[in-house]
């Protein structure tokens, strides 16, 4: 029986537990879903108790599948969806559903923070403008919209750090996830006294900040009884899902860029200094690697766009998938492959939840442009994959403009499984794409960080060298790349042409 590490990722759609050995071989995986609540247009919430129940079930299942005794798990690493806000009272009880990263209600609060604090001050402290996805405007929204509830708030946590509290009884966070709060001084890698004071917050309302590969707590007795883990098993700081995914892809030095297609899409590049895009099209955050930072482009609906298509329009494909014993997305990819590159003039804008890179616009919306009578669901499926790929190329282009080297693109997430979407992305970006042999994303990266925390590897770079292996995924086809180059130019012009109309539609909806 060997030595094992456990990575837990609190995603938007479910909790994932990954059990792996110290060579990076996965012994077992388990996923448990939970609901997303949208009580109003643009709102997105989840119940932290759902996260905990799913975590307990996933951990118990993965330990059972792996047939690993609890005392062989040397450490636990945590990851999770970034920016969400969990509000606890003085008895450590959750006061309301958590506001999620994809919640768009806080645009007025972003403007309020920029006005009250000053945009220059915000940028000097946090290196990023405040956007609706970040945590600070969610806190201000609670202050302004539910003041009686806010008066009872004694602790504010990010999603993975609520699970850390349930596992350990300790309030702690780490630098990568805290970067997405608009409350962290990114150069100092600690809470910003300036931002806290300006927003009427005190340091005791936020957890202590650690570096990511640090054992900041340990499994407590009650959590051991629920999960089956051993008491006192070290729990690492871990990382926000994007930084953890970057670790899981081996993005720990200049030149390699991670491209993830999950519900959202991210493009992440490691930096040795805290630089930022002067036009604020990509975010800067602390990396899970001490002394490094990430430039990160985020699109809010990547795989989520294809999931919308599946749920809204693909009942027949889902039925075929059930009859064949395969995933519906495989059938959709087969249909998409029937359409030619460029989808015969059909373009898709993937702004189903607003957008963040390269346009910070909560009012932006998805569009199919160029529809004609000959277009079929095959064209629509391919156009969605192409539109998401164009949006991810936007982020790749910004990172290139920042002067960061792009030696290699590493694709991860469900969108790159099966190869077809990865080929489209390679053709769109005109670069080879490499996959990851163990493509379990953030949960795998969290497990590696846990290994560093307990000394299995001396640093994150060594962990990635030992455990992260790449496999060739796609090489750009020159003919398709030429077609996509022409369509990408059209795609780039569509947002500007429609921006005022997006705002007008949003105003009409708010007035309805």
Examine the domain organization and report whether 383 and 349 are in the same domain: yes
Residue 510 lies in a domain: no
392's enclosing H/E stretch is: helix 377-401
Given this model, what pLDDT does residue 418 score?
A: 79
Residue 396 lies in a domain: yes
Give the domain extent around 294. Answer: 250-436+469-501
pLDDT per 10-residue tile (average), the chain, 512 residues: 88 94 91 93 94 98 95 96 96 97 92 95 94 95 97 97 98 97 95 96 96 96 97 96 91 87 89 86 93 92 94 96 95 97 98 90 94 97 98 95 90 85 96 88 94 96 93 95 98 96 91 66
Residue 443 lies in a domain: no
Given this model, what pLDDT does residue 2 score?
A: 62
Of 376, 415, 174, the residue nearest 287 (C-alpha): 174
- CATH code of 85's domain: 3.30.420.40
Given a contact cutoff of 8 angstroms between Cβ atoms, the answer to whether 175 and 210 are in contact is yes
Examine the domain organization and report whether 166 and 296 are in the same domain: no
Rounded to whole angstroms, what are the CA distances from 449 to 62, 79, 161, 163, 280?
19, 10, 15, 17, 29
Residue 456 lies in a domain: no
Distance CA 243, CA 214 (A): 15
Examine the domain organization and report whether 231 and 308 are in the same domain: no
Given this model, what pLDDT does residue 511 score?
A: 76
Q: Which one of 237, 258, 288 terminates a domain?
A: 237
Examine the domain organization and report whether 201 and 299 are in the same domain: no
Examine the domain organization and report whether 210 and 358 are in the same domain: no
Neighbours of 133 (CB within 10 A): 28
Q: Which of 9, 241, 394, 439 is catalytic?
A: 241
Examine the domain organization and report whether 128 and 276 are in the same domain: no
Examine the domain organization and report whether 132 and 255 are in the same domain: no
Examine the domain organization and report whether 15 and 156 are in the same domain: yes
The structural domain count of the chain equals 2
Q: Can you give the pTM of this predicted structure?
A: 0.88
Q: Which one of 213, 237, 261 terminates a domain?
A: 237
Examine the domain organization and report whether 373 and 320 are in the same domain: yes
Residue 447 lies in a domain: no
Residue 241 annotated among the catalytic residues of the structure: yes
Given this model, what pLDDT does residue 1 score?
A: 46
Rounded to whole angstroms, what are the CA distances from 141 to 88, 102, 145, 351, 354?
16, 15, 6, 24, 19
Distance CA 417, CA 425 (A): 12
Examine the domain organization and report whether 68 and 11 are in the same domain: yes
Given this model, what pLDDT does residue 309 score?
A: 96
Of 259, 276, 277, the residue nearest 268 (C-alpha): 259
């Amino acid at each position: 029986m060997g030595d094992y590490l456990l990575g837990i990722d609190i995603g938007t759609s479910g909790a994932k537990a990954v059990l792996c050995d110290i060579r990076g071989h996965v012994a077992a995986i388990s996923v448990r879903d939970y609901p997303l609540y949208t009580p109003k247009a643009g709102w997105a919430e989840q119940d932290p108790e759902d996260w905990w129940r799913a975590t307990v079930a996933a951990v118990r299942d993965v330990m059972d599948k792996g047939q690993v005794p609890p005392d062989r798990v040397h450490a636990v690493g945590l990851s999770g969806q970034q920016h969400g806000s969990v509000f606890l009272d003085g008895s450590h009880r959750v006061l309301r559903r958590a506001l999620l990263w994809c919640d768009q209600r806080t645009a007025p609060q972003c403007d309020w923070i920029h006005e009250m604090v000053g945009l220059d001050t915000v940028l000097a402290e946090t290196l990023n403008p405040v956007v609706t996805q970040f945590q600070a405007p969610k806190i201000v929204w609670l202050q302004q919209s539910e003041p009686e509830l806010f008066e009872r708030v004694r602790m504010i946590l990010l999603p993975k750090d609520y699970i850390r509290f349930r596992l350990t009884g300790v309030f702690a966070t780490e630098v990568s996830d805290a970067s997405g709060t608009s409350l962290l001084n990114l150069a100092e890698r600690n809470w910003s006294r300036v931002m806290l004071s300006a927003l009427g917050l005190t340091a005791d309302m936020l957890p202590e900040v650690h570096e990511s590969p640090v054992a900041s707590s340990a499994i407590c007795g009650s959590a051991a009884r629920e999960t089956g883990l051993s008491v006192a098993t070290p729990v690492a700081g871990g990382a926000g899902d994007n930084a953890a995914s970057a670790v899981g892809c081996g993005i720990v030095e200049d030149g390699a860029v991670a491209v993830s297609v999950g519900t959202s899409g991210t493009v992440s590049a490691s930096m040795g200094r805290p630089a930022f895009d002067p036009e604020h099209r990509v975010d800067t955050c602390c990396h899970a690697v001490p002394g490094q930072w990430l430039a990160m482009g985020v699109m809010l609906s990547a795989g989520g766009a294809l999931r919308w298509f599946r749920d809204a329009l693909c009942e027949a494909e889902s039925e075929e998938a059930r009859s064949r014993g395969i995933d519906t997305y495989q059938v959709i990819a087969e249909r998409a492959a029937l359409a030619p590159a460029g989808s015969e003039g059909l373009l898709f804008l993937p702004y189903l939840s607003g957008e963040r890179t390269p346009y910070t616009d909560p009012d932006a919306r998805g569009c199919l442009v160029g529809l004609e009578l000959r277009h079929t669901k095959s064209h629509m499926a391919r156009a969605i994959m192409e539109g998401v790929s164009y949006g991810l190329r936007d982020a790749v282009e910004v990172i290139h403009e920042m002067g960061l080297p792009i030696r290699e693109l590493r694709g991860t997430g469900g969108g790159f499984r099966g190869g077809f979407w990865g080929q489209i992305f390679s053709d769109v970006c005109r670069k080879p794409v490499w996959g990851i042999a163990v493509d379990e994303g953030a949960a795998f990266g969290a497990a590696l960080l846990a290994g560093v925390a307990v000394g299995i590897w001396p640093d994150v770079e060594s962990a990635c060298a030992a455990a992260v292996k790449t496999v060739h995924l796609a090489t750009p086809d020159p003919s398709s790349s030429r077609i996509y180059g022409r369509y990408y130019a059209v795609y780039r012009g569509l947002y500007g042409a429609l921006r005022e109309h997006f705002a007008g539609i949003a105003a009409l909806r708010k007035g309805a």
